[in-house]
Amino acid sequence: MGRVAYGSAGLLALALLTACSAEDPDGVAMVGQKAPEASVSFSPADKTANVPTDQPLVVAAQGGTLKSVRVDGGKSGPLKGLLSEDGTRWRSLGTARPGTVYKVTAVSVNPDGKEGERSSTFSTVKGGKTFDIKTVTPNKDDTGLTVGVGMPVMITFDNPIADRVSVERNLIIRSSKPVEGAWHWFDDTHVDFRPLEYWPAHTNVRLEAKLAGVRGGPQMYGKRDVKLDFKIGRSQITKGSTDNHVLTVRRDGKKIRTMPMSAGQGGQWKYYTTSGVHLAMSREPVTVMTSPGIGPGSAGYYSMTVYNTVRISNSGEYVHSAPWSVGSQGNSNVSHGCVNISPENAAWFIKNTLIGDPIIITGSPRKLEPTNGWGHWQEDWKQWLKWSSLKDGPTITF
């Protein structure tokens, strides 16, 4: 009897254990099942045509992560992108090229580590023509790559830009010190950037014009990207008055030179020196100056060679050596509109001036126009922003 009772208890215990195992949904019966392969989606979808060049490509993984995404554009080159921190989403950066078929290859990984590969294709809109940057200032040849605190970034295009927003948002200014600034369209082929206030001294600046494939107008796209690095030098600001006939130069806030001057004699409007914030536009050891609007043989005509000149406008104004007016410098205005200084002072000034240095003249009834040379600082910030498509914002520091 004892043995039978013992055996019955053992059978009962075994039956209970078996019943528990069979009813456990997370038990032995589930061991060995594998996670499904991760799924991958593409936007734009496979075989989508006429995709705008600025529409981002997004690749997403569900039930896993993305190991890699490759976007091949053939002769147009690959399309770069960025993977999210959790590895589930990839987004293209920049713009695609027009008239290009792109093949997208994505490799995903499921929770078990199994890899899967999916591919998709899409094609972009066809472009009829291109636009390019024709000139950019400052530059190595015309201004040098170390410039004054008032220097704007000036871009001209070889074709009129209809889609200003698209172009402007791809013109990126980076700087080593934070600066608030904005672009300003003077016309359809000319856009300039200036800060709210003068650049901080000794700031490194980079222009990144990421225009390749960017829409500039109907069926017109950017031809290439352009990058320019330059540096802001020391802060030098020159101020002069047509009333007190003196130029004062301050460097980094400290007065370093005072120079007697003679400004425009007036009488006729063209013979007044313009008042306003000028910028040094060029340094010319020798300049031949001729009378404005008067030809040879006419009364008042002149043609003369002048030395050590610094151009400050497009209407013929310079700060230059004038040995003939030294007696008037410091007490009266006798020039045809230029700022006359002595030969010694002119030699010093051209040597110590950077292109883009502010030269501020006051006292004259004739005001410098914002489009007369580099009169960018003649507009207050509200006026400047009026012609900006994206308005103001901070530069990207690096």
**Which sequence positions are flagged as catalytic?**
320, 338
C-beta neighbour count of 370 within 10 angstroms: 18
Burial 65-75 (b: 16+ CB within 10 A, else e): bbbebebebee
Shortest CA distance to 322 belongs to which of 212, 222, 249, 247? Answer: 247
Contact present, 116 and 37 (Cβ < 8 Å): yes
Cα–Cα distances (Å) from 167 to 99, 183, 283, 353, 378, in that order, read: 19, 11, 32, 33, 25
d(CA 147, CA 243): 30
